[in-house]
Structure 1
Amino acid sequence: MIRRILAVIAGMIVGSIGVWLIERLGHALYPFPAGLRPDDLEGFRSYVENLPFMGKFIVILGYALGALLAGFIATKVANNGKPAAAIICGVIFTFFTIYNMIMLPTPVWFWVLGIAVWGLVLVGYRLALNKNRI
């Protein structure tokens, strides 16, 4: 039981790092406006609303990498061949994503991809099971 809990925690940490890395790339390409404070929700909403398509799509790519990494790591740490740890990571990340989409102005396509992409935890799970890879 402890190993499965640690698997979910490890998957969440590594998945979050994957999302963060890609989002850092997005912020390098589409920097925050000068003077935007981390606690300025209205300023951040305005930034997101005016972000071009590619700026938003990079976030989806971050979610995709995070999902793959979370599913892979959670499965490797759980070491039981079952997808439960990966699926739990995907569900938790999906809830965080929905919360972010409620808080920020995101288009419909972002909602669809933002939720669907977390299914990639199952691809990470399958990659972790494949003994011929990594």
Structure 2
Amino acid sequence: MTDLKLLALDTEDLAVLSAHVQDAVVRTVDMGYARGDRRFALLMNRYDWTDDKPRSKGLRKRSGLHFDRVENVAYAGFDPASPEGVLNLLALTFTPAPDGVSGVVEITFAGGGTVRLTVEVLEARLADLGSAWAAAAKPAHKLD
């Protein structure tokens, strides 16, 4: 089993990252903005959707995701300072500004929580950080 190391520099790349982090579990204390470095980072326990081993519940992996060249961060729908806060990551999207280079990255969580990153340019990296472990359950979504 190989660890992921992915780079996103455009919307298509970010869609690939988004697919890999869908249903990741993120603690609010494991995300933050380093203003001096212009970097927003978060740690997560991501569900490994590529695991094709015959397991009933799949695997989770500890992973890190960060965005560089971040100019501003806005939180909505949750308290980022809550020490008990746990979020379920749904998607990563990028809306380019009229210049086609800068724009807004939106990190969407279940229950309506979002993090909006205003970025000079889209630059994101995802990397697995350690071993995998058995997931407690395979994520499932109700379709309306």
- TM-score, normalising length: structure 1: 0.29
Q: Which has the larger radius of gyration?
A: 1
Structure with higher helix content? 1
TM-score normalised per structure 2: 0.28
